[in-house]
Amino acid sequence: MRYLRTVLLLFVVSGAAPVALAVEPSTESSGVTIAPLIESRTTWTSLTEDDGEEDDLSDDDGTDGLSDLDSRAPRKCYTRSRPRKNSRLVDHIRTSPENKGDAVACVYLQHNHRQHKLADFDHALTSILRQLVSQLPSTSGILQQLVEVTDIPYPGDDEYGQLLHRIASEFGKAFLVFDGANSVTASALKDLMLAINSSSSHPAFRVLFASHDTPPHDFAASYQIIDIPSRAQDRDVEEYIVRTLQDVSAKNLSSGHSKLVKDLVRMFDGLFLPIPAWPVETPMPEFLAGLSQLISICGSAFTSDKIAAFCRESVVQLMASQWGDMVLCIIYHVIRASEAGCIFTISMALEALNIWQIQHQDGKRFDTSEVILGCRGLIFCGEGDEPMRIQSPLLGHYLGREVFGTDYDKRSITASLRYLSSDSFADGACTTSAALRERLQKNRYLWYAAAMLGPSLATTIPETFVQDFMQLSSRRGSIESYFQAAEAWPYESEASYDECEQDEERWRCFTPGYSPLHLAAHLAAPGYLIDALVARGEALEAGDSDGRTALHLAAEIEGDNSTIRALVGAGSNVSAEDNKGNTPLVGAVIYGNIASVKLLLDNGADLGELDEEALEQCGQEKPEIATYLRELGIDVPVDNGSDQSF
């Protein structure tokens, strides 16, 4: 396969530094220059989990890491936000004299979206095409040809690859950056390489993947990958230390304390460790003694022990401050929002604090200036609708493991359920896109509460869940308001929301007619909630606007499924058909799990309900279920493109 030589793969697998720091030419031994990216065809750069400041190759909240070339992005893959100005890798390629005439496109793959197959890269590939077109010189002959194109080829089609190569031929070199590629299967990577470098006659693209993981073994063996660990340069670590201590504790170490600073830099060893926020009023001698003690403890410690020590001290100082509960609430939301592929802003934080009932002792609400003051040194607080970002992902990981736990998830679920049950949303779904935009603008926490409810319930169940669920489901309008908000575009700004709605009107993507049982099945609620709803008199065979019963929804649950067991046990009709004639068994073999399939069959479901299309999708999506069906004598097509994850 000669095309293997036409790509450059730079997999960034974490070290400790903002990835951007690794791309500047440096004489430091810890630095990594851009040279391998420019000169080599296949490169892999490793960054360990010990990330420093949150400084990705691309916009860490949006689709593109350069300017605003791509303004719309589907929520499930990535969300749109203003570009980050410190994407140095992209800036380096675009501004370096030796790269004049080159082009670069950058997309960010969010944490919650796994790339199993080529189709999962569709939005990223579409974004890349738009970005490259926007960089074509005005004299390019292909521009006029593109104007005459009525249908853009679908990513993965041969025509798409040909168009991509024609555009790339207009540049000296073309770089593609896939940042955040932490959940990509090996087969998806291979298919992606074929899609963007289908021609073996010309080296069209140099491709970089930034990831916290090492390259998959089979993939690395096939693609002659150069593995380059990336770490921060000492001068950047020193600047980070001095600046952060000045910001959080008002202590200036830029002069008169050079030995202490050098000791810290040496101990940090290319990492951006979280720096404890000692109170501003801490006397200088006490402050210096605290730093010296940390250096003494961590001087010869393993990296993991250093990280833990600085994180522990950061939490100690945070909890002792007047802002402790407030800041932890905000950090929790920022981390969860980032994991879900969306942003969290100051306006959302203020509403979250109110919903969580985190206030001053006298009942006064926190204001913007207090949030910024309390979060100094811990969270980057953007202006207006700009995203908040945790300054030290290391601290974020530590908090997630040691502090937040299920208690915070339970608190979040309870607060969200009660918020969604409020009278503000009881009138039902909005009837126009403009009306929903106004609702989301007025209630900035609404989208987050709705979108995060299901994922949060997958981790834990609060003690008051049944009571709070009953309140939410007592009004049909509240149910539909919830579903509409959960399916809507994230509201980041009026302009971005309108752009997304122009691309796809998501204000009416939800399915009307959900009953409390539908809502419970949608949330994969525990069986005891189903029992409580049935005891309350909820109709098992009630259908939504598509004719689907709660059992149809429950059959599509992938994980442990007490929901479907409770519904079947209560007497739900396993052969109920929706408006398309599909039964719960159809959904189970395509989206569900083998236990659900067996349960339905044991309770009277008929294998004859599975048509050719359902069996084909089962073979593609659920190999374990497909194997089971073949053992029962069902002819399930064999999918030869099964993924092998790394």
Among 57-61, 276-280, 382-386, 401-405, the least confident range: 57-61
Say whether pLDDT at 2 is over 70. Answer: no
Name the 3-class secondary structure at 23: helix
Most confident of 42-51, 120-129, 433-442: 433-442
The angle formed by the CA atoms of residues 557, 563 and 568, to the nearest 5 degrees, is 110
Residue 377: pLDDT band by 50, 70, 90 thresholds? confident
Which pLDDT score is estimated for 58? 40
Give me the domains of the chain, ranges plus CATH numbers.
2-229 (no CATH), 234-320 (no CATH), 511-646 (1.25.40.20)
Residues 545 and 515 sit within 8 Å (Cβ to Cβ): no
Residue 88: pLDDT band by 50, 70, 90 thresholds? low
**Nearest alpha-carbon partner for 579 in 549, 552, 606, 548:** 548
HEC string for 153-188: CCCCCHHHHHHHHHHHCCCCCEEEEEECCCCECHHH
Which pLDDT score is estimated for 597? 97
Over residues 148-194, the pLDDT tens digits come to 777 777 777 778 888 888 898 899 888 888 887 777 887 888 888 88
Which pLDDT score is estimated for 606? 94
357 contacts: CB under 8 Å, gap ≥ 6: none
More confident residue, 30 or 589: 589
Name the 3-class secondary structure at 335: helix
Over residues 108-140, the pLDDT tens digits come to 886 556 777 788 888 888 889 889 999 998 888
Which pLDDT score is estimated for 79? 25
Which pLDDT score is estimated for 224? 67
Mean pLDDT, residues 240-265 taken together: 87
Over residues 569-579, the pLDDT tens digits come to 999 999 999 99
Q: What is the mean pLDDT of the chain?
A: 81
Which pLDDT score is estimated for 203? 55
Which pLDDT score is estimated for 227? 63
What end-to-end distance do the CA atoms of the chain give, in Å? 22
| Sheet with strand 174-179: strands edge to edge | 9-12, 205-210, 174-179, 103-108
Q: Determine the Cα–Cα distance for residues 351 and 440; give it in Å rounded to an integer.
A: 12
Which pLDDT score is estimated for 60? 37
Which pLDDT score is estimated for 41? 43
More confident residue, 555 or 224: 555
Over residues 590-634, the pLDDT tens digits come to 999 999 999 999 999 999 999 999 999 999 889 999 999 999 999
Say whether pLDDT at 284 is over 60. Answer: yes
Give the other-Cβ count within 10 Å of 296's Cβ: 11
More confident residue, 438 or 140: 438
DSSP per-residue string spanning 79-111: ---PPPTT-HHHHHHHH-GGGTT-EEEEEE--T
Among 50-54, 153-157, 491-495, 628-632, the least confident range: 50-54
Residue 277: pLDDT band by 50, 70, 90 thresholds? confident
The CA distances from residue 466 to 418, 453, 531, 539, 540, in Å, are 12, 14, 11, 18, 18
Say whether pLDDT at 26 is over 50. Answer: no
Q: Determine the Cα–Cα distance for residues 286 and 96; give it in Å rounded to an integer.
A: 46
Q: Determine the Cα–Cα distance for residues 398 and 404; give it in Å rounded to an integer.
A: 9
More confident residue, 395 or 43: 395
The angle formed by the CA atoms of residues 484, 489 and 490, to the nearest 5 degrees, is 105
Q: Determine the Cα–Cα distance for residues 213 and 219; give it in Å rounded to an integer.
A: 13
Say whether pLDDT at 517 is over 70. Answer: yes
255 contacts: CB under 8 Å, gap ≥ 6: none
Give the other-Cβ count within 10 Å of 362's Cβ: 5
Say whether pLDDT at 7 is over 50. Answer: no
317 contacts: CB under 8 Å, gap ≥ 6: 276, 277, 278, 279
Residue 205: pLDDT band by 50, 70, 90 thresholds? confident
Q: Determine the Cα–Cα distance for residues 557 and 541; give it in Å rounded to an integer.
A: 18
Q: Determine the Cα–Cα distance for residues 30 and 271; give it in Å rounded to an integer.
A: 11
More confident residue, 195 or 77: 195
More confident residue, 504 or 526: 526
More confident residue, 534 or 36: 534
Give the other-Cβ count within 10 Å of 411's Cβ: 17
Which pLDDT score is estimated for 265? 92
Say whether pLDDT at 341 is over 80. Answer: no
Over residues 529-539, the pLDDT tens digits come to 999 999 999 99
Which pLDDT score is estimated for 370? 93
Q: Determine the Cα–Cα distance for residues 193 and 198; give it in Å rounded to an integer.
A: 8
Say whether pLDDT at 202 is over 90. Answer: no
Distance of CA 79 to the CA centre of its chain: 9
Mean pLDDT, residues 435-443 taken together: 96
Q: Determine the Cα–Cα distance for residues 389 and 65; give it in Å rounded to an integer.
A: 16
Residues 336 and 390 sit within 8 Å (Cβ to Cβ): no
The percentage of the chain sitting over the pLDDT mark of 70, rounded to a whole number, equals 81
Mean pLDDT, residues 13-18 taken together: 35
Token couple for 142: 């292909």
Say whether pLDDT at 461 is over 80. Answer: yes
Q: What is the residue whose two structure tokens read 């649950």?
A: 557
Token couple for 410: 């339970």
Return the sign of the alpha-carbon dihedral for residues 389, 392, 393, 395: negative
